[in-house]
Amino acid sequence: MEKVKSEDRLLESIIAGAQKVINGKDELNKINVFPVADGDTGSNLASLMQTIIDNLSNNNYSTNLLFDEVASAALIGARGNSGIIFAQYLNAVSDYYSVYETNLEILVLAFNRAVKSAYDSLIEPKEGTILSVMKRWAEVLLITFKESTSFEKALLEAKGEAWKALKETQFQMSILKKNKLVDSGAKGFYYFISGFTDAYCGEKVSKIQEGLIPSIKELNTEDIKEHFISEAPKNRYCSEFIIKEPLKQEKDLKESLRRWGDSLVIAGNKKQIKIHIHTNHPENILALLEKTGTIIYQKVDDMQLQYEISQNRKSSIAIVTDSVADLSADFILENQIFVLPLNVSVGEQAFLDKLTINPQIFSEKYNKNLKMTTSQPSIQSVDSLFSFLEGKYEHIIVISVSSKLSGTYQLLNQRITAKKSLENRVHLIDSKLNSVAQGLLVKQVAKLISEERSIESVLNETEKITDRIFIYVVVEDLSPMINSGRIPKILGETAQKLSMHPIISLDKRGNGKLIGASFSQNKSMDKILKKINLLSKEGQIEELALTHVLSEESALKINELLKEKTTKNCEIIDSSAAIGISAGIGSLAIAGLLKEVK
């Protein structure tokens, strides 16, 4: 049997294939219409490939260890339908190969047999996708290798047939036929095996391949368009989770999850599995999965927002904020706002703020007296969002929670600096605000952008608007704010000893400060209402907003009082879990925008 000539050669070939996918990211995004036209298949596959590259070193791997490393990295980096199918394929290759004697015949058999695992990872596998090209490539690879016993010849022959299979995908599904496009995930797989083949075959490529394989430029790029005929997603969120040491088998998980959405893909092994599903309720998916093992990764993307942008991008300037900004889901979608979720830890379980934890779940966890903390968005989520935005917008305005209250601003600044191509296009703003006040700032920036102002004008006005926004907060219990460092410990503990209910605001630098107190929360709120009433009588109030942590009834009563005193009708918004952890259940906040002094 022909032995693997050099593990280094395989390593170099895998890296070459991965790099070819990364280089084709933008093209793959543009032709992405299935299963939804969210324009991220290229980004998802590039993430998978970059993780593989990052996790491979120049060590002298055995072939077994090499594919084991590739498989492990693939599960971590996989995103989206095609990414997770690809990851499952690579994991199955590793599993099949490790069982037998290490030679090229076994490797070819592993490539072939792993196709079934890729198909089995879906409830309803479809032809005309990455699966079709994967299957044709693996079948021809095996047939040619058996006939010739030459791995190089088999690779070249299989690459040619994979190209034909790729071209056929544009006729296998109606949405691809309608748009005259090949499948984006299938093309990504072709890029990988193309790069792999070219690197492995070396000098023989130009001699044997010439005239057999059309150039990459001929692969349908003339059909790339900015907009496609497509339908809005049936489910809003693309959700992904990795479970370590799962208690349930893949088949059982499929049965449990299928009622919560579509595009369900499950990939992995006994050590860990990755779940991908399109759903309207990612919080319910997490609640189900946390009973089956330790969730070590989660990601939720707003496909509806991505679809809206692909169909009708409203501006060349994007707005990004974090989940501390209290905004309604309708406003976010209507104004195409991108929100980075903070990480919320409850006991041993992690959540994504406003995505996998909602007010009901927060209440249940809070009442169990579990330790709760928050942390800035993950590096991966920040990089992933910027990767998605950079090809779609000329400028990106990022409005972060006050740098004095969170490390989010510092993280964003670091990631922008790390990505040199973004430095002149991304404009990071420390809002020096939080909660509903931060939300008011985002709303004003969205309004400026809708007026088609220049980026310079928007940035100049944003700085002025920040100084005109105030926020007042009253809490039922001061302990969460003391524990989270939102107010000075000595002042907080003094107020507690006196059984006082403080009024909390933010200073000009974005630090929390005590500005008053009463012997009940209602009396503290009365003082706030008097302040706002005075401002209203002086004609200084332009807009008000109101948020609460599981205290809707009180918020409705306060809104009625505000309408009576100021004629302003507040938008009432459920506050984020991140705010709930620092302010506690029952807390209420009123933010306002003062009129510009001319």
Pairwise CA distance, residues 377 & 379, whole Å: 7
What radius of gyration, in Å, describes the C-alpha atoms of the chain? 27
Please tell me the predicted confidence (pLDDT) of residue 74: 84
Kindly give the residue spans of alpha helices, DSSP state H, lying in 258-334. 282-289, 303-312, 329-334
Give the pair of three-digit tokens for residue 191. Answer: 């890029």
- Using alpha carbons, select from 148, 171, 170, 172 the residue that is nearest to residue 158: 148
Please give the residue that has the higher pLDDT: either 414 or 192: 192
Please tell me the predicted confidence (pLDDT) of residue 484: 60
- Which are the contacts of 410, defined by CB distance < 8 A and separation ≥ 6? 376, 403
What single string gives the DSSP state of each residue in 423-438?
TTTEEEEE-S--HHHH
Please tell me the predicted confidence (pLDDT) of residue 496: 67
* Chain-centre distance for alpha carbon 60: 35
Q: If you average pLDDT over residues 498-502, what whole number do you get? A: 76
Helix (H, G, I), strand (E, B) or coil at 178: helix
Place of tokens 């709760």: 372
Average pLDDT, the chain: 85
Please state which CATH class domain 313-342+377-466 belongs to: alpha beta
Please tell me the predicted confidence (pLDDT) of residue 83: 85
What pLDDT digit, counting tens, does each position of 280-333 carry?
999 999 999 988 888 888 889 999 998 888 888 999 999 999 999 999 989 999
Pairwise CA distance, residues 279 & 262, whole Å: 7
What pLDDT digit, counting tens, does each position of 524-535 carry?
999 999 999 999
pLDDT band for 61, please (50, 70, 90 cuts): confident
Q: Is the pLDDT of residue 100 over 70?
A: no
Q: Domain 232-312: give its CATH code.
A: 3.30.70.3100
Q: Quick check: 189 and 114 in contact, CB under 8 A?
A: no
- Using alpha carbons, select from 201, 212, 50, 35 the residue that is nearest to residue 131: 35
Give the pair of three-digit tokens for residue 542. Answer: 């332009």
Q: Quick check: 295 and 242 in contact, CB under 8 A?
A: yes
What pLDDT digit, counting tens, does each position of 195-252 carry?
999 999 985 443 334 333 333 333 443 343 443 446 788 999 999 998 887 887 777 7
Rounded percentage of the chain residues whose pLDDT exceeds 90: 46
What pLDDT digit, counting tens, does each position of 365-415 carry?
888 888 888 888 887 788 889 988 987 899 999 999 999 988 899 889 888
Please give the residue that has the higher pLDDT: either 584 or 483: 584
Helix (H, G, I), strand (E, B) or coil at 272: strand
Q: Domain 469-594: give its CATH code.
A: 3.30.1180.10
Q: If you average pLDDT over residues 177-192, what whole number do you get? A: 91
The architecture (CATH level 2) of 7-222 comes to: Alpha Horseshoe (1.25)
What pLDDT digit, counting tens, does each position of 506-519 carry?
999 999 888 888 88
Where are the domains positioned within the chain?
A: 7-222, 232-312, 313-342+377-466, 469-594
Winning range, highest mean pLDDT, from 71-80, 135-144, 286-295, 557-566: 135-144
Q: Quick check: 478 and 502 in contact, CB under 8 A?
A: yes
Please tell me the predicted confidence (pLDDT) of residue 91: 87
Please tell me the predicted confidence (pLDDT) of residue 346: 86
Q: If you average pLDDT over residues 150-179, what whole number do you get? A: 91
Q: Is the pLDDT of residue 426 over 70?
A: yes
Please tell me the predicted confidence (pLDDT) of residue 59: 64
CB-side neighbour CA atoms (13 Å) of 257: 33
